[in-house]
Structure 1
Amino acid sequence: MRSWRRFLPVPRSLLGRMLLLTLLVVLLAQALSSVIWLSQLRASQMEGLLTSARSLAHSMAASVSYFRSLPLGYRPLVLDQLRSMGGTRFFVSLNDKPLQMRVLPPTPRKRAVLNAVDEVLRERLGKSVDLSAQFVSPDDLRIFNSGLKLDELPRSWAHYALSLEPVNPPVLVTQIQIAPNEWLYLASLMPEPYVSLEDQGLPAQQLWFILLTSSFLLLFIGILVHWQSRPLKRLAVAAREMSLGATVEPLAEAGGSEVVEVSRAFNSMRESISRYLSERSQLFSAISHDLRTPITRLRLRVELLEDENLQAKFGRDLDELELLVKGALQCVKDTDIHENIEQVDLNYLLHGLIEPYLGGGRVTLEGEAQASYPGKPLALRRCIGNLVDNALKYGQRAHLHIEDNAEAFVLHVDDEGPGVPEQRLEQVFEPYFRLSGQQQGYGLGLGIARNLAHSHGGELSLRNLREGGLRVTLWLPRHAG
């Protein structure tokens, strides 16, 4: 699949693919029909060419019979009268031997004409007649025994029958022996439209027809696909905005029946997701309110216990329970950020985050974003801020490196810590997971950062560096996906 794509790049857009497919189909259909039409045309032309060649050969045979019937003394006189009159179909002369001239290379049409002329002449004049038929270029044509060229003759003698300027088609020269030491020389052009005798390709009119029909068809297909794909583009924009948490209005159910079904399904999904997010927010607010009261009440009761050991055990359990509740609420609060999507200046955002640490050299930054990024400013600030805080907390220093192009914005955050065991690289994203029990915090920073990256259609990954330390890579796509 990939091999032919290297030779024929496939467009990514639906419009480009439809136009490419239509163009290939049109060219294939036009090429097939043109080949069939051209083969039929050439067959018809060959039939007409052979008919014209046989007719010309019959005229030659009649001329030979006429000169044979003349007394020897009258033949030169008749030839002089023919030359003086002009306008004859053949240029005729009498020579004492066949003239030698440079023959044109044979082509299928020339060979067919020569075979037809030879067949008719031998049929009319006898099988044993000595004759030769050949095609000669006008520049190489020789007329009399002296070998005169065509340009050396008076124009009234031969140019009418043998010249068709500026085409200069090949001349059919037939030399027939009519008596000992007497050869009748007949030179003529093939009649229209068989003058050139060359196999021609598609006529210019046919090529223009193919070009115009293909252009109009591509134009109409392009308009149709563009018209039908507009609802899909609106759907893609709405899906991206909804993935970022923005408020999305219901899509207009327009276009083809399939597009209407997709828009209807998207609107239904949008309502379900909005209802679920609203119910989840209400649920966690209720949990936050309802759990704080019993926890506070239990702490008061624990203070009344006389057994200090039992009091300490209950206190630890209540601290862990309160930690879990606060962590869950913080996770929901940090990931459920309701912001409008806007163009975010990532360079400004990053410099604002690392500015407090620049004095001590704990944070370095290399590279810069080439363009603004469409996203949620507060969510991106919290996502990148968690990565920097995590690197400083566990690796003492944070080294940021930016790679930006038209496809994606990539931020690498390297620390100088001990790294993470390979088998636990994915586990550290889980809520409340900490590599060491002595570590502070809820163990939610990387999980929240990954959720915020996912909400922008991106990804967060970890990799241990060979020289030591951990690399956290944030990948954010620049195109709607």
Structure 2
Amino acid sequence: MSAPATERRWRLLPRSLLGRMLLLTLLVVLLAQGLSSLIWVAQLRASQLQGLQASARSLAHSMSASVSYFRSLPVAYRPMVLDQLRSMGGTRFFVSLNDKPLGMAALPITARKQAVIDVFQDVLHERLGQQIEVSVEFVSPDDLRIFNSGLKLDELPRSWAHYSLTLEPLNPPVLVTQIRLGEGEWLYIASLLPEPYTSLEAERLPRQQIGFIALTTALLLLFIGLLVHWQSRPLKRLARAARELSLGADVAPVTEGGGSEVVEVGRAFNNMRERISRYLTERSQLFSAISHDLRTPITRLRLRVELLEDEALQVKFSRDLDELELLVKGALQCVKDTDIHENIEPIDLNQLLETLAEPYLGDGRITLEGRALAPYPGKALALRRCIGNLVDNAIKYGERAHLRIIDGAEDFVLQVDDQGPGVPQQQMEQVFVPHFRLAGQQQGYGLGLGIARNIAHSHGGEVSLLNLRDGGLRVTLCLPRMAE
């Protein structure tokens, strides 16, 4: 199976924990109930077959006794006894004497019919002798013939045969046994099997059993759904708090609830949140102190440089101080741009991109393709700085920029294509390092891409580079749309 086909199949599965637990529970319940039902039905049919054979054997013994009685009667008395039996009605068998076996369309043989036929033949041969000529078959009541003249069941008086060969409103098959008593004399005996084997049909899974399976499955799914929903609520709160924390928002401690494992995860998250908050506060204080401490001696050194009489030496000192000040400003700007304390709010990315591209639309240096389908929850100023850095880099080093939006339910993707020389493959990751510049690039601090990637990382996204085949560089910003 190909990878795309496998991926499409996995996408059809529920994504939530509740959906997957319910699907797994449903499959397990159906499998268990199906196996137990198959075993139960197999045992039921085996016991029914044993009961059917016992009933058939009893009926065969009764029939053999009737045959023995008729064989014991003088030939002249046999029709008289049959007339008396028909006049009485309600007998177990319909019996007639014919001069030849009646030809009728037999029903197709099934396993149950064959079992009954085998039992009848065994009992009749055992009781009446192995040399006796016997014919046993099942016939539909519509095809049943009674006498040599070919009379049907409906053409006879109702008291003669209907009580023994019909069972309204059912239309069960009739067991017809024809036994040769002598030359030109065949004893015809027709009967129905006793209840509950009259129809000879194998019983399907009872409706009560199907209803029980459906009821137990529904109750189990309901209880599992409630349990998973109850257990997953703390996880949803934890996921929401983790996402807000990754965006730099001020997150309150999560409530520790649910199972012991979930409580342990919540406690660990709260401890991590406290450590991160403390670290961010200390880092902000540290860089504020560094900024203050460095600016003072740099300013003092500039004043002393102005007092130097040697102009050449003065120029050298001034150049070194400019470079030192540039490094300090770049480091502070990097921290400032990536550590933006903002509230998370829905951002209209279409408006943000149009605002950034508006100054360049007049001269055609920027083209915009596609639109965002929905607002994106994040930090407005941070994302504006992130996308602005990507656009500025494209204009600065590639002269023109083509912005392409690919928005979906799972993530927002922005591709920025320029017409510049691109980036050497071995330096793809180095360009994200602060103060790194490619050969021939002397503008700025070398912080734009690094800041953009840090902001993307804080939103759970990524910034990647790709050299285009026709020339130019493609910078891709991918921001996931995480479920609330």
Structure 1 CA distance for aligned equivalents of residues 335 and 343 of structure 2: 18
Give the count of matched residue pairs.
Answer: 481
- Judged with a 3 Å threshold, the aligned counterparts in structure 2 of structure 1 residues 26 and 182 are, in CA distance, closer, same or farther, namely same
- Judged with a 3 Å threshold, the aligned counterparts in structure 2 of structure 1 residues 82 and 40 are, in CA distance, closer, same or farther, namely same
Structure 2 CA distance for aligned equivalents of residues 11 and 107 of structure 1: 46
One of 324, 327, 332 as aligned partner of 2:330: 327
| Structure 2 runs not aligned, ≥5 long | none
- Worse overlay, 228-237 or 2-11: 2-11
One of 59, 84, 87 as aligned partner of 1:84: 87
The DSSP-based 3-state class of the residue aligned with 1:442 is: coil
Structure 1 CA distance for aligned equivalents of residues 83 and 378 of structure 2: 100
One of 442, 458, 461 as aligned partner of 2:464: 461
Letter paired with 2:76: G
The DSSP-based 3-state class of the residue aligned with 2:402 is: strand
Letter paired with 2:168: E
Q: Normalising to structure 1: TM-score of the pair?
A: 0.97
One of 267, 274, 282 as aligned partner of 1:279: 282
Is 1:395 equivalent to 2:398 in the alignment?
yes
Shift of 1:458: 0.9
Shift of 1:201: 2.5
Is 1:449 equivalent to 2:452 in the alignment?
yes
Is 1:181 equivalent to 2:184 in the alignment?
yes
Which residue pairs with 1:421 in the alignment?
Answer: 424
The DSSP-based 3-state class of the residue aligned with 1:370 is: coil
Structure 2 CA distance for aligned equivalents of residues 220 and 438 of structure 1: 65
The DSSP-based 3-state class of the residue aligned with 2:142 is: helix
Which residue pairs with 1:94 in the alignment?
Answer: 97
Structure 1 CA distance for aligned equivalents of residues 6 and 79 of structure 2: 73
- Write the deviation string for residues 337-387 of structure 1: whole angstroms up to 9, x where unpaired: 111111111111111111222222221111111111111111111111111
Task: Name the Cα RMSD after superposition.
Answer: 1.6
- Worse overlay, 68-77 or 268-277: 68-77
Letter paired with 1:384: I
| Structure 1 runs not aligned, ≥5 long | none
1:226-241 superposed matches below 5 A: 226-241=229-244
- Write the deviation string for residues 128-183 of structure 1: whole angstroms up to 9, x where unpaired: 11111111111221111112222222222211111123321111101111222111
The DSSP-based 3-state class of the residue aligned with 2:196 is: coil
One of 304, 309, 313 as aligned partner of 1:306: 309
Shift of 1:244: 0.7
Which residue pairs with 1:197 in the alignment?
Answer: 200
One of 54, 57, 68 as aligned partner of 2:57: 54
Shift of 1:5: 7.4
- Worse overlay, 8-17 or 419-428: 8-17
Structure 2 CA distance for aligned equivalents of residues 298 and 380 of structure 1: 38
Structure 2 CA distance for aligned equivalents of residues 468 and 25 of structure 1: 56
Structure 2 CA distance for aligned equivalents of residues 472 and 5 of structure 1: 27
Q: Percent identity over the alignment? A: 77
Q: Normalising to structure 2: TM-score of the pair?
A: 0.96
Structure 2 CA distance for aligned equivalents of residues 277 and 339 of structure 1: 14
Structure 2 CA distance for aligned equivalents of residues 226 and 285 of structure 1: 46
- Write the deviation string for residues 247-302 of structure 1: whole angstroms up to 9, x where unpaired: 11000001100000000000000000000000000000000000001111122222
Which residue pairs with 1:342 in the alignment?
Answer: 345
Letter paired with 1:26: V
- Judged with a 3 Å threshold, the aligned counterparts in structure 2 of structure 1 residues 54 and 7 are, in CA distance, closer, same or farther, namely farther
1:130-169 superposed matches below 5 A: 130-169=133-172
One of 218, 222, 226 as aligned partner of 1:223: 226
Letter paired with 2:154: D
Structure 2 CA distance for aligned equivalents of residues 43 and 397 of structure 1: 83
- Write the deviation string for residues 415-438 of structure 1: whole angstroms up to 9, x where unpaired: 122211122122111100111355
Structure 2 CA distance for aligned equivalents of residues 283 and 239 of structure 1: 25
- Judged with a 3 Å threshold, the aligned counterparts in structure 2 of structure 1 residues 313 and 342 are, in CA distance, closer, same or farther, namely same
Structure 2 CA distance for aligned equivalents of residues 109 and 439 of structure 1: 95
The DSSP-based 3-state class of the residue aligned with 1:177 is: strand
Is 1:207 equivalent to 2:202 in the alignment?
no
Shift of 1:6: 5.9
The DSSP-based 3-state class of the residue aligned with 1:139 is: coil
- Worse overlay, 25-34 or 328-337: 25-34
- Write the deviation string for residues 293-334 of structure 1: whole angstroms up to 9, x where unpaired: 111112222222333333332222211111111000000111
Shift of 1:406: 0.9
Is 1:128 equivalent to 2:126 in the alignment?
no
Letter paired with 1:338: H
